[in-house]
Structure 1
């Protein structure tokens, strides 16, 4: 479903949003409330995610206060929720997302405090109110009935999941789940199409899923480009995009070094081998992407440079441990360089992907207010010196473009 035009900066947009929240609570149609773009005094607080729960038979909202290093949960009676929302918007948060039976309503405040209200398309069926306990069915962000899943061989002609594709189906949903959380906190405009680049798109499973989720589930305009080295895959995916009428979705032949976009909001690179991951992250930073999603593969550059401190040599004499150490150091430095460039970065296990055991995700979301990085750069230098690292590809690329200060 297409998005309606943004409400013209109405002065009562905040009041409308709070009224919709009141109605969703009263009608028991609220499925989730997200407050993002924190501007309050607690610099470690990122957002609040609230969902309905039953406590001793009484409806409450479970609020998860998500900080950089911890989560704090607070359960609030429904009657107290409107007052809290009114207190926090826009004093502490500049974005609010209300998910109800009709889809999503987004309230956005500009830097000057001007409010905008926008209704997105209908979401997948909301979890039933009775499932507010711990045994609710796992949420799926895409429906198996979506045509692209049948065309790509994930489902059969009747829309049923093909058993051999169950792992791919789980991967697609997990990927969209991670992206959904990143999107809720990213400083992105709501009145412009999202530009997405997926490097190493392969057969296009995740590229199609991203485009379908943005346009059909969220109702947002999107220009999604899949970049793949194999011409036959590019031809196959472009034919499918045309056949399925996915406007704004296209595929190009090349890689992260040959296809360099001018500007993107979302950069994806799953299983880019060795320094190709560094080139992809560099592209995301250079293009000022608000969201960078990487799943690194192979870690060859740092391993020959590693000079293990004497204390660690007995542990790292084993090849397996040395490889694990090189992997951890490589990705830790990548995450730290992203932090130094103004991103909030997380490194976590994603999911066991098809044909590989690599399941690490590096997720970076651009900060609304970047933190000073001088102390962080000094700690990076200490870490490199500890392991005798003289060169890291991502650092070299960033310094060459002036995205990091010179030595």
Structure 2
């Protein structure tokens, strides 16, 4: 059937206003429009109805979540710049082909149903796509309308995963009456501070807590930039300092200390500092555990090589084993210091495949349980045939000698 421009606009407008759209695919671009293809779908964000326009350019996708009025205006723009529209609705499907002077519209029976209007990528996220968040916009993760840039989606997922761990940790600290409505947090090795700014936003806008946050890193230029961003965003009670973990003494009795991507023994020194600051909760994502590998490789007479040489004789397998052994040893050491620990999967980082998170929360431990854990600790150390630096650093804080 032939349609003029006015009738084609009305058809699409009716589909959108009735909210019967399941999916739309717009292709065969003409002219100088910056995108080669557009996908359209309905979604709900915080119980508000939107249409998401996913536009593709050079194999990258850019998302915009538009309200009804904005979406109808967007459709007019697409009609100007594309020749083919595939529109799937709950009442029927439409193929719209643009000719020189009119449009050909072919209607067929419906082939799809709306399964959910929830955003399939953000429905479980603490920070939702489609909601403009100032720090994410400032740091180049999100656009002005709340759309997450395609090449920043891994960062967006990482930030939300981090906040999930923080949320669970705060709930447990409150359940144990270790904190009230005020919290103090230190982020060691904060780098560009995506996670630090996320924590500030979360504590202020989601949890409505009183807080103090300090980010620490060795790179002065990066910390200067982070302080500049914090001022521009009016981030109160957030400060970035330049310095070494070993020398940090500004915040005593911290509630949560977080350390991301601390290489080799930097994680061990971070654990020591956490204990020195009397932290109530510890979250660490270690990286590049070389010490165990080097020390075990130099002692081929250990029980490990006598029993597990099927692993030890292969360098790559030994490297993987020692990485796991290092984190297991750290978790056990923290338990001997009076923490309940969990070793969990975090999320792959951009610069390392390491994705293990060690979380420790202060706990009451029975003496007999401590004794059992200490025997396990010493037995494991003897089996590996090494004297780790962590053993020397943390033993003064063991609740059993």
What TM bracket, shorter-length normalisation?
0.5 to 0.7
Instruction: Quote the residue 1:185 is aligned against.
Output: 172
Match of 1:403 in 2: 397
Residues 313 and 267 (structure 1), Cα distance of their counterparts in 2 relative to 1, 3 Å cut: same
- One of 264, 277, 281 as aligned partner of 1:287: 277
What is the aligned partner in structure 2 of residue 375 from structure 1? 372
Q: Which residue is equivalent to 1:313? A: 309
Query: Equivalent residue of 1:378, what SS?
Result: helix
Structure 2 residue corresponding to 1:241, chosen from 204, 220, 230: 230
Among 138, 142, 146, which residue is 2:127 paired with? 142
Q: Please, which runs of 5 or more residues in structure 1 have no aligned partner?
A: 1-129
- Aligned-partner SS, 1:257: helix
The 2-side partners of 1:331 and 1:295 are apart by 10
User: Does residue 228 in structure 1 map to residue 217 in structure 2?
Assistant: yes
Aligned residues: 273
Tell me the alpha carbon deviations over residues 229-249 of structure 1, each in whole angstroms, 9 at most, x when there is no partner. 111110111011111111110
**2:151 partner SS:** helix
**Cα drift, residue 215 of structure 1:** 1.5
The normalised TM-score by structure 1 is 0.63
Mapped contact 1:309–1:386 kept (Cα < 8 A): no
Q: Is the 8 A contact 1:342 1:371 kept in 2?
A: no
Tell me if structure 1 keeps the 8 A contact 2:219–2:242: yes
Which among 323, 326, 333 is matched to residue 330 of structure 1?
326
Q: Using the TM superposition, give the Cα deviation of residue 406 of structure 1 relative to its aligned residue in structure 2, in angstroms.
A: 7.9
Give the one of 257, 265, 285 matched to 1:267. Answer: 257
Cα deviation for residue 286 of structure 1 reads 2.5
Give the conservation status (yes or no) of the 8 Å contact 2:282–2:360: yes
Q: CA deviation at 1:207?
A: 0.4
Q: 1:262 deviation in Å?
A: 2.3
Equivalent residue runs for 1:87-236 within 5 Å:
138-143=123-128, 144-186=131-173, 187-191=176-180, 193-236=182-225
Deviations 1:57-76 (A, max 9, x none): xxxxxxxxxxxxxxxxxxxx
Specify the alignment match of 2:338 in structure 1: 342
Deviation of the 1:405 alpha carbon: 5.8
Alignment match of 1:303 (pick from 282, 288, 293): 293
Alpha-carbon offset, residue 255 of structure 1: 2.6
Structure scoring higher RCO (CA < 8 A, sep ≥ 6) equals 1
CA positional deviation for 1:189:
4.8
Q: Is the 8 A contact 2:186 2:214 kept in 1?
A: yes
CA contact (8 A) 1:270 1:295 kept: yes
TM-score calculated relative to the size of structure 2: 0.64
Identify the match of residue 385 of structure 1 among 358, 382, 395: 382
- Whether the 8 Å CA contact 1:286–1:403 is kept in 2: the answer is no
> Is the CA contact 2:185–2:213 (under 8 Å) kept in the aligned structure 1?
yes
| 2:132–2:144 contact (8 Å) kept in structure 1 | no
Q: Deviations over 1:373-401 (max 9, x none)?
A: 12211111111111112x222221123xx
Structure 2 CA distance, aligned partners of 1:255 and 1:160?
A: 37
* Preserved contact between residue 190 and residue 215 of structure 2 (Cα < 8 Å): yes
Q: Which has the higher helix share?
A: 2
